[in-house]
C-alpha cells in the first residue's frame, strides 16, 4: 500500500467526523423522532446505525462504479449533487407529512373538561386528556412502523460528497487495500459520530421537563425535519 494512501486515513477520519457534525440532517431527524415516538435507546441506536450504513454504502457503491467506468470526479460529484437535491426533497416531504399528522394528533388529544353529576345532586368538573396518544407511543416500542423505513430510504438517497474525492486517489494508484481502508475509516467515523450525537442528545432531552409540550412533540419533530431539509436544499 503506497504511503500516500496511508496518509489519507487521518483525512478520511476527520472528514467523516466533520461532515457529520456540520450536517444536522445526519442526527436531528433521529433525535426528534426518538423523542416524539419514545423509542428505546436500543431501537434508536439500531435505526441510526442502519440508516448510517445505507447512507455511506450508497456513495461507496456509486464511487466504485465510477472508478470502474473511469468517470471523472466532476461527473461523480454532479451525480452526488443531484442525489443530494433528491434526498432534501424526500426529507422535506417526510417532515411535512409528519408535521401535519403531528398537528392533527395534538388537536385530537387537547385537554377538555368533563362534568360529573353524583346521585346526591352534587357535580364537579375535571380536565381530561385522551390516552390514545400515550397508548400509541407505547405500542410503537414493540413494532417497526413506516417511520424507520422512510428515514432509511431518505438516507440511502442522501450522498456523502466528500467521500468521492477520497476514493479517487487510491483508485488512481490501483491500491485496492488503500481504497478499502479509506472507505472503512470514513464509514466507521461517520456512523460512530451519528450514533454518539443521537444517543447523547436523546438521553439529554429525556432529562428535561417537557411534559407541557409533549402533546406537540410529533409536530415539533416534523417541523424540525422540514428545517433540516430546507438547510440541505439551500446549502446551509
29-79 residue pLDDT tens: 999 999 999 999 999 999 999 999 999 998 888 877 877 776 666 777 788
User: Average pLDDT of the chain?
Assistant: 81
Report phi then psi at 127, rounded to 5. -80, 140
**Helix (H) or strand (E) segment spanning residue 14:** helix 3-21
pLDDT at 65: 80
The predicted model gives 18-26 an average pLDDT of 91
Q: Contact 232/91 with Cβ under 8 angstroms?
A: yes
Confidence band for 176, pLDDT divided at 50, 70 and 90:
confident
Q: What local confidence, expressed as pLDDT, does residue 99 receive? A: 95
Query: What's the pLDDT score for residue 7?
Result: 78
pLDDT for position 131 = 45
pLDDT tens-digit readout, 110-167? 654 545 555 555 555 544 454 444 444 444 444 557 888 899 999 998 888 788 778 7
Q: Which residue has the higher pLDDT, 171 or 78?
A: 78
186 — phi, psi (to 5°)? -65, -45
Q: Return the SS3 of 50.
A: helix
pTM given for the model: 0.81
Give Cα separations from 147 to 3, 46, 60, 138, 155 (angstroms).
44, 13, 25, 15, 12
Query: In which band, very low, low, confident or very high, does the pLDDT at 207 lie, cut at 50, 70 and 90?
Result: confident
SS (H, E, C) 191-209: HHHHHHHHHHHHHHHHCCC
In this prediction, residue 220 carries a pLDDT of: 93
The C-alpha atoms of residue 221 and residue 224 are separated, in whole angstroms, by 5
Q: Which residue has the higher pLDDT, 109 or 155?
A: 155
* 77 CB burial (10 A radius; 0-12, 13-18, 19+): middle
pLDDT at residue 122, rounded to an integer: 56
CA dihedral (52, 53, 59, 61) in degrees, to 10, reads -170
Tell me how far CA of residue 20 lies from CA of 17, 45, 56, 190, in angstroms: 5, 16, 11, 6
pLDDT at residue 21, rounded to an integer: 93
Q: Which residues contact 34 (CB under 8 A, 6 or more apart)?
A: 43, 44, 198, 202
Separation of alpha carbons 113 and 129, rounded Å: 9
Amino acid at each position: 500500500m503506497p504511503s500516500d494512501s496511508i496518509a489519507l486515513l487521518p483525512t478520511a477520519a476527520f472528514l467523516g467526523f466533520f461532515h457529520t457534525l456540520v450536517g444536522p440532517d445526519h442526527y436531528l431527524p433521529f433525535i426528534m423522532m426518538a423523542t416524539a415516538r419514545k423509542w428505546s435507546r436500543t431501537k434508536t441506536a439500531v435505526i441510526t446505525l442502519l440508516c448510517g450504513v445505507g447512507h455511506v454504502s450508497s456513495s461507496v457503491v456509486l464511487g466504485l462504479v465510477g472508478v470502474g467506468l473511469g468517470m471523472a470526479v466532476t461527473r461523480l460529484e454532479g451525480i452526488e449533487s443531484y442525489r443530494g437535491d433528491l434526498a432534501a426533497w424526500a426529507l422535506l416531504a417526510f417532515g411535512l407529512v409528519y408535521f401535519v399528522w403531528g398537528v392533527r394528533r395534538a388537536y385530537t388529544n387537547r385537554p377538555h373538561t368533563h362534568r360529573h353529576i353524583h346521585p346526591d345532586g352534587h357535580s364537579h368538573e375535571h380536565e381530561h386528556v385522551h390516552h390514545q396518544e400515550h397508548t400509541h407511543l407505547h405500542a410503537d416500542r414493540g413494532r417497526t412502523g413506516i417511520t424507520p423505513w422512510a428515514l432509511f430510504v431518505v438516507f440511502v438517497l442522501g450522498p456523502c460528497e466528500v467521500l468521492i474525492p477520497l476514493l479517487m486517489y487510491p483508485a488512481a494508484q490501483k491500491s485496492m487495500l488503500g481504497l478499502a481502508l479509506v472507505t472503512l475509516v470514513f464509514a466507521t467515523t461517520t456512523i460512530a459520530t451519528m450514533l454518539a450525537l443521537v444517543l447523547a442528545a436523546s438521553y439529554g432531552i429525556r432529562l428535561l421537563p417537557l411534559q407541557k409540550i409533549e402533546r406537540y412533540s410529533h409536530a415539533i419533530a416534523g417541523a424540525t425535519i422540514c428545517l433540516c431539509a430546507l438547510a440541505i436544499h439551500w446549502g446551509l
